[in-house]
Chain A
Amino acid sequence: MAEHREFRQRDRRVHPPAFTPEYKTSVLRAPRRALLSLQNSLSEVTGPTFGHAAIGPLDNDLLLNYAKDGQPIGERIIVTGRVCDADGRGVPHTLVEFWQANAGGRYRHRNDRYLAPIDPNFGGCGRTLTDADGGYAFRTIKPGPYPWRNNLNSWRPAHIHFSVFGSGFAQRLITQMYFEGDPLIWRDPMVLGIPDRAAAERLIAPLDLDAAIPLDMLAYRFDIVLRGRQSTVFENRLQGN
């Protein structure tokens, strides 16, 4: 069946290499030997699936899913998009998870010591399943930029982290979404670690005024493209004869 065909090799030219010395932490954490290329077996084309039972009704609403005595401070936004593969096929019912700093640039994380305050009404994480066409949406507040220890004056552009499963474990991807117009984007070593500028631009979500809710919230659009599948119509003999 088409949805079970092997994946084409990941296009490594659009991904940051493991070793990007401008991002200092990568220096001691990057494998130095060549990756061993594997043809797909069942271990790669299969992967976990998640049902609606695992997802709570507020899991995709960061405005409400940690609200205690009010709503979080910040610009209210909707993020919408579609998860598809390189052939444009939507990836249905796959788990998308997202996490971010609050409007002041502070994460609700025991290891984050930045002096901006924790927002008592903001957890900063959510998750959803894509619909039958790969579409997803969630509400949140726009995260703030924050300083980090790389160079002395390094600042992360505002961003939202995304984790996507896809339909097989070999499609697993984590990435970050940036916001149109942020002057910090092209100063960021994580963005600049992507060897192809056009590829890096695809991480920048445009303002999507048509998806905004008048008098309520702005919207940004972020589509995610996972690696595609081989198109051969002949038997690949992934399994037996």
Chain B
Amino acid sequence: MVQPLPARLPETPSQTAGPYVHIGLIPHQAGFAIFETAFSNVIAGPDAVGERILVEGRVFDGANEPVRDVLIEVWQADAAGRYAHAADPRHESADPALSGWGRTGSDFETGLYCFETVKPGSVVGRHGRPMAPHLNLWIVARGINIGLQTRLYFADETAANAADPVLNLIEQASRRETLLARRETRDGRIVYVFDIHLQGDAETVFFDV
């Protein structure tokens, strides 16, 4: 016999968010108003520091059809790479005009999702190694049994991306491109286009974080 390890509680299993996730998390998209404070896809307030950007795209299923009932959340650092959370040693100086978090549903007709934010800065990674600017994404929907976690990197950050410790963990260099958002200018606004593929040749890299 050996000493017993401390008892640990087993995790609560995940279950799909289902087709009506909008009721719980974004009721305005389900078709009604109920809460005084609604969560939204606007991550950066008007006073947030940094380059203002739109992030938009679609999520595609294994038949290459847009998933029109997906819910996406974003968690990000501010323009100087600081998270608004106590675990970040620099959180006290994080930009107060940036919540760092937003959520939205894809459009029921087009499948498009969109976030309004500012481009994050480089975040200090493990062992002090910088990570290229990125957004952390969490994706749930009917047919997704456990939330999918991935990252959006910015295609124009060529040097930073090449040195990013997470992108470099992806063995097949071609798959790294599934995490790169394409920069466009549309009516004077900066738009990063980021499509997510749940299956197929272009399947997005998802993480077990």
Q: Spell out A's residues near B (CB within 8 Å).
A: 3-4, 9-12, 14-18, 20, 23, 25-33, 35-49, 53-56, 59, 65-66, 84-88, 97-99, 101, 107-112, 123-125, 127, 161, 163, 168-170, 172-176, 190, 193-194, 198-200, 202-203, 223-228, 237-241
Contact = CB atoms under 8 A, between A and B. Distances in A.
A82 B54 CA distance: 38
Interface residues of B, number: 80
Nearest to B23: A99
Contact of B136 (A54, A65, A169, A198): A169
A14 B80 CA distance: 38
Nearest to A149: B19
A110 B30 contact: yes
Interface stretch (B111-119, B121-129, B155-163, B184-192): B121-129
24 contacts: A15-B13, A23-B143, A27-B143, A28-B63, A33-B206, A36-B208, A41-B123, A42-B83, A43-B123, A46-B88, A47-B85, A48-B99, A99-B23, A123-B34, A125-B27, A161-B20, A163-B25, A168-B85, A170-B149, A172-B147, A175-B15, A199-B13, A228-B8, A241-B128
Contacts of B27: 123, 125
A84 B123 contact: no
Contact of A108 (B21, B30, B88, B203): B30
A173 B5 CA distance: 26
B208 A48 contact: no
Contacts of B142: 25, 29
Interface of B: 6, 8-25, 27, 30-32, 34-37, 61-63, 67, 69, 73, 75, 77, 83-89, 91, 99-101, 108, 123-128, 131, 134, 136, 138, 140-149, 151, 166, 169-170, 198-199, 203-209
Given A10-B208, A41-B123, A88-B9, A99 B20 contact: yes
